[in-house]
């Protein structure tokens, strides 16, 4: 038996990297005053049809959807925002006194797509959602948090790409311009884009198959169709980023793959050599209107999401070594049946006291136990033989310096707490 295609086992030696990255992202989020939210791994299918959009590839092609025993249509979550907004509405978080509501999440997502490097059918996403503010300053804050998710871990080859999708009025004007532009060559477009041109023409600009079509080069840019309010909003976002010293590039062709985006849209890319053809690390934007779509009151929102898998790929591409804690605090070597019983108590007491310690469970000789301690990179080896046991003492050896001392067993815990 093997793991299903598009999934992976994360084994010891690798999981430590994941744990370090996840804890770093959580700590950074708390510093920005975002609180953790945890939502179900599966939701009613309608949530993603309404929240993500019927015209998206995610809903049309990529969702893991099934009927449960109650004949209800259930979908494994393909992304995190819709679930967070559903929870925000269901629990009336819009009524909390402190607004905006600032949340972060992390967990597995599921999309049925062709597996490739950095793109799995089950992948882990970390995301941020800020709900309840239409201030351009919160857009800049979210972008800053996204950038610092990578900088905090030591990445430097980063590029922030920015665009505005405008408000509803601006989008409608741009939508019609796109239809007029592509309609004469509609038969030349792929089947998906022919459908998109009728349902959501903005998605045509994001097509991988038709990216080299001549009409793509001079397609109408959304920035040319922004009304005064949308243009002013975008200018303020850029002013805040300038004030925060965050460099960016404006790309009028940047289109996010989800229907709920409006106004600010952004992506963070890796410029690292050898990272791969797909350079996007994360993306996000503003989604005013999504809360109302899911049954809540009028509430603006903005967020972003990143893939932990792609973040780790970027760390490898830039040869960033994470400062992982390796090895044990101590390893207990015991000789004889009575010493073995005493060792079990010592190990348990030390663990309860907060010391990382292990012992032999393979009935090895003393030489084998010392080799095991060395393989596990134990800082101290605690030796308990017949002589030590008779004197109610234990030998404590510093494996780095070679120094050795004898400590009373009833004082061992405090002694170890002082030196590890």
Nearest C-alpha neighbor of 202 from the set 228, 161, 166: 166
Bridge partners (DSSP) listed for residue 110: 122
Instruction: Please indicate, yes or no, if residue 323 is contained in any of the structural domains.
Output: no
Look at residues 318, 339, 365 and tell me which one is the last residue of a structural domain.
318
Instruction: Please indicate, yes or no, if residue 350 is contained in any of the structural domains.
Output: yes
- Over residues 17-43, mean pLDDT: 98
pLDDT of residue 131: 98
Do 132 and 234 lie in one domain? The reply is yes
Does residue 139 have a pLDDT over 80?
A: yes
Do 285 and 352 lie in one domain? The reply is no
Instruction: Please indicate, yes or no, if residue 146 is contained in any of the structural domains.
Output: yes
Instruction: Please indicate, yes or no, if residue 119 is contained in any of the structural domains.
Output: yes
Do 365 and 383 lie in one domain? The reply is yes
Do 266 and 342 lie in one domain? The reply is no
Does residue 257 have a pLDDT over 60?
A: no
Do 373 and 239 lie in one domain? The reply is no
Do 312 and 333 lie in one domain? The reply is no
CATH classification at residue 161: 3.30.930.10
Is 260 annotated among the ligand-binding residues?
yes
| Cα–Cα distances in angstroms (integers) from residue 184 to residues 102, 154, 171, 350, in the given order | 45, 49, 21, 76
pLDDT bracket for residue 120 (50, 70, 90):
very high
Is 256 annotated among the ligand-binding residues?
yes
Does residue 55 have a pLDDT over 80?
A: no
3-state secondary structure of 86: helix
Do 60 and 18 lie in one domain? The reply is yes
pLDDT of residue 157: 93
Do 343 and 302 lie in one domain? The reply is no
Is 81 annotated among the ligand-binding residues?
yes
Do 337 and 309 lie in one domain? The reply is no
Look at residues 289, 318, 347 and tell me which one is the last residue of a structural domain.
318
Do 140 and 160 lie in one domain? The reply is yes
Is 111 annotated among the ligand-binding residues?
yes
Is 46 annotated among the ligand-binding residues?
no
Do 257 and 371 lie in one domain? The reply is no
CATH classification at residue 397: 3.40.50.800
Instruction: Please indicate, yes or no, if residue 172 is contained in any of the structural domains.
Output: no
Is 129 annotated among the ligand-binding residues?
yes
Is 55 annotated among the ligand-binding residues?
no
d(CA 134, CA 274): 39
Do 152 and 269 lie in one domain? The reply is yes
Please give the mean pLDDT across all residues of the chain. Answer: 92
For the record, the structure tokens of 300 come out as: 């603006």
Is 39 annotated among the ligand-binding residues?
no
d(CA 72, CA 45): 9
Mode of pairing for the β-strands spanning 357-359 and 393-398? unpaired
- Taking only the tens place, the pLDDT of each residue in 81-105 is 999 999 999 999 999 999 999 999 9
pLDDT of residue 155: 96
Is 86 annotated among the ligand-binding residues?
no
Look at residues 262, 295, 318 and tell me which one is the last residue of a structural domain.
318
3-state secondary structure of 255: coil
Element (H, E) at 344: helix 337-352
Does residue 329 have a pLDDT over 90?
A: yes
pLDDT bracket for residue 159 (50, 70, 90):
very high
List the domain range (segments joined by +) for residue 284: 14-167+227-318
Pick the more confident residue, 116 or 34. 34
């Amino acid at each position: 038996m093997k793991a299903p295609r598009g999934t992976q086992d994360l084994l010891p030696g690798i999981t430590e990297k994941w744990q370090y990255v996840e804890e770093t992202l959580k700590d950074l989020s708390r510093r920005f005053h975002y609180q953790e939210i945890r939502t179900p791994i599966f939701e009613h299918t309608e949530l993603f049809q309404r929240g993500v959009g019927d015209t998206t590839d995610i809903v049309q092609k990529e969702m893991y959807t099934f009927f449960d025993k109650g004949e209800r249509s259930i979908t494994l979550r393909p992304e995190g925002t819709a679930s967070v907004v559903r929870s925000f509405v269901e629990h009336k978080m819009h009524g909390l006194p402190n607004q905006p509501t600032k949340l972060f999440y992390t967990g597995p997502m599921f999309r049925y797509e062709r597996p490739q490097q950095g793109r799995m059918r089950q992948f882990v996403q970390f995301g941020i959602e800020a709900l309840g503010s239409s201030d351009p300053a919160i857009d800049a804050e979210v972008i800053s948090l996204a950038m610092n998710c990578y900088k905090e871990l030591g990445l430097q080859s980063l590029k922030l790409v920015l665009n505005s999708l405008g408000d509803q009025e601006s989008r409608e004007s741009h939508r019609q311009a796109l239809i007029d532009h592509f309609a004469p060559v509609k038969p030349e477009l792929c089947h998906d884009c022919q459908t998109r041109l009728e349902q959501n023409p903005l998605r045509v600009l994001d097509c991988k198959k038709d990216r080299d079509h001549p009409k793509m080069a001079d397609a109408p840019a959304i920035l040319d169709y922004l009304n005064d309010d949308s243009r002013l909003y975008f200018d303020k976002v850029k002013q805040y980023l300038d004030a925060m010293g965050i460099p960016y590039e404006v790309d009028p062709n940047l289109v996010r793959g989800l229907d709920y985006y409006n106004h600010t849209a952004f992506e963070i890319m890796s410029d690292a050599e050898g990272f791969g053809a797909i350079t996007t690390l994360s993306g996000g934007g503003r989604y005013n209107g999504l809360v109302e779509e899911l049954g809540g009151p009028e509430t603006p929102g903005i967020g972003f999401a990143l893939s932990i898998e792609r973040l780790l790929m970027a760390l490898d591409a830039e040869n960033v070594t994470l400062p992982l804690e390796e090895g044990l605090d101590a390893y207990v070597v015991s000789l004889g049946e009575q010493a073995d019983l005493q060792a079990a108590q010592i190990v348990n007491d030390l663990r309860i006291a907060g010391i990382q310690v292990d012992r032999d469970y393979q009935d090895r000789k003393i030489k084998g136990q010392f080799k095991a301690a060395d393989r596990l990179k134990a800082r101290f080896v605690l030796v308990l033989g017949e002589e030590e046991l008779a004197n109610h003492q234990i030998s404590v050896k510093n494996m780095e310096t070679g120094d050795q001392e004898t400590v009373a067993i009833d004082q061992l815990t405090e002694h170890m707490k002082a030196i590890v």
